[in-house]
Amino acid sequence: MKLPFTKMHGAGNDYVYIDCFANKVDDPAALAIRLSDRHFGIGGDGIILITPSDKADARMRMFNADGSESEMCGNGVRCVAKYVHDRGIAKKDTLRIETGRGVLDIKLTVENGAVTRATVDMGVPVLDGRAIPTTLDMPRVINHPVTVGGKTYRFTSVSMGNPHAVIYVDDVAKFPVSEVGPLIENHPLFPRRVNVEFVEKISMAEVRQRTWERGSGETLACGTGASAVCVAGVLSGMTGNDIAVHLSGGDLAIRWPGEGASVAMTGNAVIVFDGVIDI
């Protein structure tokens, strides 16, 4: 069976996208493991299925490189919106995409008939400790200690549809993300594992971020993670409501007005290439 696909990225967070309006995928978990392999597959942080929806213009299903399914991907949903617009599934300036986080509104920037950037309403962050989820029965998890590898770190936890732990460090470029990341990802504090953001503050309006994503390892960018970083920065007093987030694969602009408000994320969406693979 030959399966058409499109390789896309948002700020370097790359996935293999499959149009399930036209194609059928029987075992997406196994397919994600195979296609994500950067040596023996197509290569990517996972796969994303673009499927019909009875409540939105399209539905996004995201599978990590290890086959696990995640609720949401901020960079991925921008690319889904670009695909839906540019390939004629729905030609609108604002699209509604169904995700595991719910239905999200995405405002498109279109140049010469193609989407170049998108602003995503990421929804209201979940801040209650149990709901994130963590094992902490706390209304807010701010600067809470976690000890791994003999060292104690302070994290602020936020869910953007998927759980995040935000940790500030002095020099993010030199920080051992690949060592500390998986230890925190699988810590008993996080019953569904967790994405870990390691953040270096530049100013109240600017940070550098590296992310260890559950199920995928370190990625070049994480949109839900950057959103969580903005929220955590406001809650902990580290940053303001509008920040520029510098990730390994590019930049995102994030805004969170405060308690009860949605997070807005703006970034690029890029088609790398189309192809067909024999599965």
pLDDT single digits (tens) 47-69: 999 999 999 999 999 999 999 99
Show the beta-strand stretches assigned E in the chain: 2-10, 13-19, 46-51, 58-64, 69-70, 94-99, 102-111, 114-121, 144-148, 151-159, 163-168, 195-203, 206-213, 217-219, 242-247, 250-255, 264-268, 270-278
Q: Is-catalytic flag, 222?
A: yes
Give the SS3 label for residue 131.
coil
Mean pLDDT in residue range 91-108:
96
CATH number attached to the domain at 2-122+267-278: 3.10.310.10
pLDDT for 210: 98
Question: What are the sequence ranges of the domains in the chain?
Answer: 2-122+267-278, 144-261
Q: What is the pLDDT of residues 119-153, one digit of tens each?
A: 999 999 999 999 999 999 999 999 999 999 999 99
Identify the band that residue 111 occupies on the pLDDT scale cut at 50, 70 and 90: very high
Distances (CA, A) of 198 to 5, 33, 174, 239: 32, 26, 11, 14
Average pLDDT, the chain: 97
Residue 278 has pLDDT above 90, yes or no: yes
Q: What is the pLDDT of residues 203-233, one digit of tens each?
A: 999 999 999 999 999 999 999 999 999 999 9
Q: Could you tell me the pLDDT band of residue 22, with boundaries at 50, 70 and 90?
A: very high
Scanning the structure block, which residue is given the tokens 């996935």?
Answer: 15
Stretch 255-264: mean pLDDT: 97
Average pLDDT over residues 163-191: 98
Cα distances (angstroms) measured from residue 79 to each of 16, 119, 145: 10, 11, 36
The residue from 20, 73, 79, 230 that is catalytic is 73
- As a whole-number percent, the residues of the chain with pLDDT over 70 amount to 100
**Domain 144-261 = CATH 3.10.310.10:** yes
Q: Residue 193: what pLDDT?
A: 98
Mean pLDDT (whole number) for 21-40: 97
- On the question of pLDDT at 234 being above 90, the answer is yes
Q: In the annotation, is 79 catalytic?
A: no
Q: What is the mean pLDDT of residues 106-124?
A: 97
In percent, the amount of the chain with pLDDT more than 90 equals: 99
User: What pLDDT band is residue 279 in, cutting at 50, 70 and 90?
Assistant: confident
Tell me what pLDDT residue 277 has.
96
